[in-house]
Amino acid sequence: MRLLITNDDGINAPGLWALVERAVKNRDIHVTVVAPDRERSATGHAISIHQPIDLKEVPFDCPRARVFATSGTPADCVKLAVEGIMEEKPDFLISGINRGPNLGTDVFYSGTVSAALEGALLGVKSMAISLAAFENLDYSVAADFAIEQALCAANEEAWPILVNVNVPAISKESIAGVAITRLGVLVYKDAINKREDPLGRQWYWISGVVVDNGEVNDTDICAIRRNLISITPLRVDLTDLSGIENLSRCSFRWPPEES
């Protein structure tokens, strides 16, 4: 099995290496790692088209693994791996393990999810995986889950092309199960903080606190609250099919009438 691993937290992130070390324990897995050389969180699906991308191989003592760091974005890393580094297309891609959750509408900003999306766009079954905490992190449960599902999904026709996984930051014994979910909606309070520097110039910091908006039980947000591993299948095609039907019943004034 040819496994591609990437992330948005950077080549030195503990979550990335937890995946790598778990993967190389299986002698049937050949691993290629291509990850940013620094933190690239919340970069979305940005790609580098106005500057060159540096690529450096990182020493790693395993004949079944090659590791590279790049100056590019998470999406760049996947493009480089699939179209420039790997001799054959990977059987599966894992992006992560992200430090912190990627739940609900936050997936639109996530570099972790965008790397997996790039894999899906290139025809590779892909998983974005995140650990739903920021402190006292143990990535072992998430790493085990990711590799086991990758081995299953690579040969399973029914497995979706793209999934987003969030794992509760608790022990294996405390996890209540696995839930197939839809994306929730995250609402932030005080998302823009306005400040002033010593010279009187204004600047802004984007942050905010998540507001509990009463999410229903079938969302990824609720699954994590219930100590369930959340798996959300995502679509590459963002077309609103009902919107097409609704628009077909609308009239359009074009070209404009001459007055």
With b for 16 or more beta-carbon neighbours within 10 A and e for fewer, the 145-180 pattern comes to bbbebbbebbeeeebbbbbbbbbbbeeeeeeeeebe
Q: Using the predicted structure, report yes or no on whether residue 245 has a pLDDT greater than 80.
A: yes
| pLDDT tens readout for residues 27-36 | 999 999 999 9
**pTM, to two decimals:** 0.91
- Domain range for 43: 2-185+215-248
Q: How many residues does the chain have?
A: 259
pLDDT of residue 188: 67
On whether the CB atoms of residues 98 and 8 are closer than 8 A, the answer is yes
| pLDDT tens readout for residues 58-88 | 999 888 999 999 999 999 999 999 999 999 9
106 lies in some domain: yes
- Half-sphere exposure in the Cβ direction for 158 (13 Å, CA): 1
175 lies in some domain: yes
Arithmetic mean of pLDDT, 148-154: 91
196 lies in some domain: no
Q: State how far the Cα of 91 lies from the Cα of 156, in Å rounded to an integer.
A: 11
- How far is Cα of residue 136 from the mean position of the Cα atoms in its chain? 21
Closest CA to 113 of 130, 125, 131, 132: 130
Q: Which residues on neighbouring strands pair with residue 36, listed in sequence order?
A: 70
CB-based contacts of 120: which residues, under 8 Å, 6+ apart?
Answer: 126, 161, 162, 234, 236
160 lies in some domain: yes
49 lies in some domain: yes
Question: What type of residue is 91?
Answer: D
- How far is Cα of residue 95 from the mean position of the Cα atoms in its chain? 6
The burial class, CB within 10 Å (0-12 / 13-18 / 19+), for 11 is buried
Q: Using the predicted structure, report yes or no on whether residue 208 has a pLDDT greater than 90.
A: no
Q: State how far the Cα of 78 lies from the Cα of 95, in Å rounded to an integer.
A: 9
Is residue 60 classed as helix, strand or coil in its secondary structure?
A: coil
Handedness of CA 21, 25, 26, 28 (dihedral sign): positive
204 lies in some domain: no
| pLDDT tens readout for residues 38-61 | 999 988 999 999 999 999 999 998
131 lies in some domain: yes
Arithmetic mean of pLDDT, 222-231: 95
CATH classification at residue 155: 3.40.1210.10
Number of domains in the chain: 1
Question: What average pLDDT is seen over the chain?
Answer: 92
190 lies in some domain: no
pLDDT of residue 257: 76
| pLDDT tens readout for residues 172-202 | 999 999 999 999 987 766 677 888 889 889 8
Report the share of the chain in percent with pLDDT over 70: 95
CB-based contacts of 209: which residues, under 8 Å, 6+ apart?
Answer: 188, 189, 190
